Amino acid sequence: MNILVLGIGQSLRGDDASGLDAVELWQQIHPRTASRVRVELSEFPGMEILNFLDGMDAAVIVDAVQSNGLVGMVIRIRMEELASFKTEAGSSHGWGVVETLQLGISINPGIANKKITFIGIVGENFEIGTGISHAVQEAVPMAGQMIEKEISEWVARGKKLTDKI
């Protein structure tokens, strides 16, 4: 099974860096798992997200979101939930990951057959040159645990990880 872990965010825009930080922390804590999947970090992915999915059977995508939810809350949306996903939450990049995946499915229905989980960390501060807020910084380890849990569940269902990509 080809698995992608994609961290998204802008490292110089406060809480927006949380997707990158979560994936990097997960790599440090779970190096064995990380060495057996494809790991990518992207500051400005846009529609490139769809290219990252080429050749992948599954993906965990991690990004900061803007929402009326509690700052530091970590949300999980699985592929089968995308069609019904209606919320005020959005990416700090304007056009969000969920919208990109929904568009990708309309262009290439095969994307809907991939196991994709989106992990979003609710942020509050997206100003250039600022650091990550305390609540979001505390949520980063939880997002990292969720990455490992998703991969472990896929593997436990009888799928084997491929060699390092």
The residue assigned the tokens 């896929």 is 154
State how far the alpha carbon of 136 is from the alpha carbons of 19, 47, 116, 122, 164, in Å: 10, 26, 23, 7, 30
The pLDDT value recorded for residue 53 is: 95
For residue 19, what is the enclosing H or E element? helix 18-29
- Identify the band that residue 112 occupies on the pLDDT scale cut at 50, 70 and 90: confident
Other beta carbons within 10 angstroms of residue 109's beta carbon come to 9
The pLDDT value recorded for residue 165 is: 39
- Can you tell me the distance from the alpha carbon of 52 to that of 45, in angstroms, rounded to the nearest whole number? 9
Checking if the pLDDT of 10 tops 70, the result is: yes
Specify the higher pLDDT residue, 74 or 155: 74
Q: Would you state the structure tokens that stand for residue 125, as one six-digit string?
A: 């501060």
pTM over 0.85: yes
The pLDDT value recorded for residue 155 is: 80
Query: Which residues on neighbouring strands pair with residue 4, listed in sequence order?
Result: 38, 59
Overall average pLDDT of the 63-92 stretch: 76
Q: Kindly provide the residue ranges of all beta strands, DSSP E only, lying in 9-83, ordered along the sequence.
A: 38-42, 58-66, 74-78
Alpha carbon 79 to its chain centroid, in Å, reads: 12
- Can you tell me the distance from the alpha carbon of 117 to that of 152, in angstroms, rounded to the nearest whole number? 13
- Can you tell me the distance from the alpha carbon of 6 to that of 128, in angstroms, rounded to the nearest whole number? 22
The pLDDT value recorded for residue 6 is: 98
Nearest to 91 by CA among 67, 53, 118, 65: 65
Specify the higher pLDDT residue, 111 or 164: 111
Q: Quick: pLDDT tens for 17-74.
A: 999 999 999 999 999 999 999 999 999 888 899 999 999 999 999 999 988 889 999 9
Checking if the pLDDT of 93 tops 90, the result is: no
Domains of the chain (ranges; CATH) run 3-156 (3.40.50.1450)
- Identify the band that residue 92 occupies on the pLDDT scale cut at 50, 70 and 90: very low
